[in-house]
Amino acid sequence: MDPSQCTLVILSPSQYSNLGYPYIDTLQAVFDHVVIANDNDNAIYQQKYHHNTLFFMDLDILQDHEDDQNSISSSSSSSTSTMDYRLTWLKKMTQHFIHHPVIVCSSETNSTFMLDCFHAGAADYLLKPLYLPVIQTLFLKLHRRQGPESSTSASTTTSSSSTNSTTTSASTTTTAATLEMPTDVNATGLHDDDYYFLPTTMQPEEINHRFKEIVTKDIQLTKAMMDIYAPPLPFPTKYIPLSSRQADELKAKLTQWDFSPFEFNRDELIHCVYLIFEMALSEPDLSHLTVTQDQLYDFIIDLANAYHEDNPYHNFAHAVDVLQCIYYFLCQLGVLTPQGSGRRRSITATSTTHKHTLPQHVMKPKHAFALLLSAIGHDAAHPGVNNMFLINSRTPLAVMYNDRSVLESLHSMTLFQLIKKHGLDQWWTGDDYQCFRHIIISSILATDMALNNDYVTKFKQMAVTDPNDDTEKQPMDCLMICTALIKCADVSNVTRPFRRGKEWAELLVEEFASQGDLERELGMPVLPSNDRTKIILEECQIGFIRFVALDLFTSVAALLPELDFTVKHMQQNLQQWELEKISQLEKNQHQQPLGLDALPTAITTAGTKRRLSYCLEASTPPSLNTPPLRGDNTTATFTSHHHYLSTSSSPAKKTVEQQHRQQTLSSPSPPASSSSFCILQ
């Protein structure tokens, strides 16, 4: 598709005729056909049956005729009668052309008005004067609405000289027009093979009415949610292509366990994400996924914008860290082929002695692609507070998701809407599509730490199950591997080199303390793990590793021996954290060891309030296949039977160290009086 194949209809209020449009010549030079029609012209309602049609509105027309606003408002519903008359007109038009993009232009620079236009249904808002390069990109809105399949079909119909192809394409177009089925695949989430359930005995008008009744409200609700939780960028964001040398340098770092997103700025992180997907898509089994560079970058930039950068921990850098960890795991398991000069040895040949079925026998590159998408979007739109806060404060988000995996359901919904918006699900049909969606939803929901014990139990059971070649079990085994990998990747900072893990630990503690500040200001109970006057960084990490992370990673390593290196790194980090705690005790025996109360609270509290506003402004739809929540949103019990070799220390430290180790390594559960350790939510 290109502009020369599209029609642009300029909508004019019926009471204004013979209006001059100074940019009409530019529009006619770009589009195949440009029509000026008033909003009562029946011809424009016939035009909406044509796939390649854009609708265009100049809101300044009404600005110049304020005296006539009553005649326009009278035709709108009572719910919008008090709105700006320009918005009333816009909403009326977008409701008529719900499955076609309506683009507006105006000289109004007020950002609130711009957002109101999007909420009223506008696909884009252009500031006047209009320039040729901007006009040349308008057809992209139509391309995204229709989805790549429609574009490909239109292109094939235009270029093919085959009579059969032309006849088939024409027949398809006629049917779609008669049934008034939406071409907006991205908005509805429906594919061609999803229509099989429609009763064939119904007349087209009945099918159309029933379909609209089911889908239209859901589309509007989804759009409203995305406008709040993942608002579109006001202007297209450009990216600067990488040179070959820069790409090679980034690839080398992406294939190392010592990777740290703190070394890169935001643009470089976006390039890192692109390169990981580029390397994954180079797999022969994924050659049919014809993802363009622009398409992938647009998706990544949109998703990065959905993350709140004022979150100390749950931000885009964390998402990139988890993505890189997943990519590293998949290469270690032999599911993906490592690339770049920093790649580790191939483990495929040495894996044949493992007791259990090789991951690459049940997990294919197509599953890896879905898991990589899950990783980069697993915390999309995170507000910087945990599930318990949302539930206790009775936010609409918690109410809509029935207090079950609230944040994880939000992340999954946000990610999948962006996947659809950018057409990254277009290649899957039937069972493959269901598998693709199931992996994404299940993987993200598995990151709810309130369900951690349940998953660890499943991993342990799978590790002791005799391997077999039962093909019926392979989808479930694949899903279990995906959930194991993303759960480990989500908390992988405890297995990274100590200096990396410490940076992440400090950021996580600050985010918890920021939530505690907000809880205190709202008069809510503040848990010790959120109280900046009581948080002790070393105790948080020691407790989390001993009572949560070790059990998780050892159970996964028993299932996937290639990941055993993470347990060894974690044991080393645990010893280092114990030494850090001893050092702090010796330095500050008569002082508070590591309180965060000295840190400024005004900024962090204000930042948390801004993030919380996303939870309070709008509701979200019921979750999809959300597993039931057992108990409250903290992990119920933790046990550990792991003991570690002591680290040599100076004689001066011996007594303190022995006393500390007797406390921390001998008890099977955390002391009731100790500070609560931090659990990711």
**What is the percent of the chain where pLDDT is above 90?**
45
pLDDT score for 66: 54
Catalytic residue among 99, 143, 314, 356: 314
Residue 314 marked as a ligand binder: yes
Residue 318 marked as a ligand binder: yes
Residue 378 marked as a ligand binder: yes
pLDDT score for 229: 79
Is 50 assigned a catalytic role? no
Summarize the confidence of residues 232-260 as an average pLDDT. 86
pLDDT score for 176: 32
Q: Alpha-carbon distance 330 to 666, whole Å?
A: 36
pLDDT score for 370: 98
Summarize the confidence of residues 278-294 as an average pLDDT. 93
Summarize the confidence of residues 401-422 as an average pLDDT. 95
Summarize the confidence of residues 555-559 as an average pLDDT. 96
pLDDT score for 408: 98
pLDDT digits (tens, 9 = 90+) for 136-151: 888 888 766 555 444 4
pLDDT score for 40: 59
pLDDT of 326 strictly over 90: yes
* Domain boundaries along the sequence of the chain: 3-141, 244-666
pLDDT score for 89: 82
pLDDT of 308 strictly over 80: yes
Confidence (pTM): 0.62
pLDDT score for 604: 47
pLDDT score for 430: 85
Burial class (CB in 10 A: 0-12, 13-18, 19+), 517: buried
pLDDT score for 49: 47
Average the pLDDT over each of 84-93, 379-388, 605-614, 668-677 and give the range with the smallest value. 668-677
Q: In the beta sheet, which residues pair with residue 127? A: 106
pLDDT score for 451: 97
Average pLDDT, the chain: 76
pLDDT digits (tens, 9 = 90+) for 378-399: 999 999 999 999 999 999 999 9
Summarize the confidence of residues 259-269 as an average pLDDT. 96
pLDDT score for 234: 61
Beta-carbon contacts of 200 under 8 Å, excluding residues fewer than 6 positions away, are none
pLDDT of 643 strictly over 60: no
pLDDT score for 621: 39
Residue 490 marked as a ligand binder: yes
Looking at the domain covering 244-666, what would its CATH class be? mainly alpha
Which one-letter amino acid corresponds to residue 612? L
Output 232 or 531, whichever has higher pLDDT: 531
pLDDT digits (tens, 9 = 90+) for 49-68: 456 788 999 888 776 555 44
CA Rg value for the chain = 28
Q: Answer for the pair 54, 99: CB distance below 8 angstroms, yes or no.
A: no
pLDDT score for 367: 97
Output 41 or 187, whichever has higher pLDDT: 41
Domain 3-141: which CATH number of 3.40.50.2300, 3.90.1150.10, 3.10.580.10, 1.10.10.10: 3.40.50.2300
Quickly list DSSP for 597-657: TTS--HHHHHHHHHHHHHHHH---PPPSSPPPP-SSSS----------PPPP--HHHHHHH
**What is the percent of the chain where pLDDT is above 70?**
66
Q: DSSP assignment, residue 414?
A: H
pLDDT of 366 strictly over 80: yes
pLDDT score for 467: 63
Average the pLDDT over each of 297-301, 551-555, 604-608 and give the range with the smallest value. 604-608
pLDDT of 271 strictly over 70: yes
Residue 367 marked as a ligand binder: no
Q: Alpha-carbon distance 156 to 318, whole Å?
A: 42
Measure Cα distances from 655 to 274, 588, 660 in Å: 52, 16, 9
Confidence of residue 333 (pLDDT cuts 50, 70, 90): very high
Output 529 or 665, whichever has higher pLDDT: 529
Q: Alpha-carbon distance 520 to 534, whole Å?
A: 14
pLDDT score for 307: 96
pLDDT of 92 strictly over 60: yes
pLDDT score for 500: 97
Q: Answer for the pair 409, 625: CB distance below 8 angstroms, yes or no.
A: no
Q: Per the structure block, which two tokens stand in for 610?
A: 């801004």
pLDDT of 337 strictly over 50: yes
pLDDT score for 2: 81
pLDDT score for 361: 82
pLDDT score for 311: 97
Quickly list DSSP for 30-60: HSSEEEEEETT-HHHHHHTTSSSEEEEEETH
pLDDT score for 12: 80
Residue 349 marked as a ligand binder: no
pLDDT score for 472: 67
Residue 590 marked as a ligand binder: no
Beta-carbon contacts of 294 under 8 Å, excluding residues fewer than 6 positions away, are none
pLDDT score for 632: 41
Summarize the confidence of residues 149-172 as an average pLDDT. 41
Summarize the confidence of residues 514-522 as an average pLDDT. 95
pLDDT score for 119: 83
Give 202-210 contacts, CB < 8 A, sequence gap 24+.
Answer: 204/178, 204/179, 207/179, 208/179, 208/180, 208/181
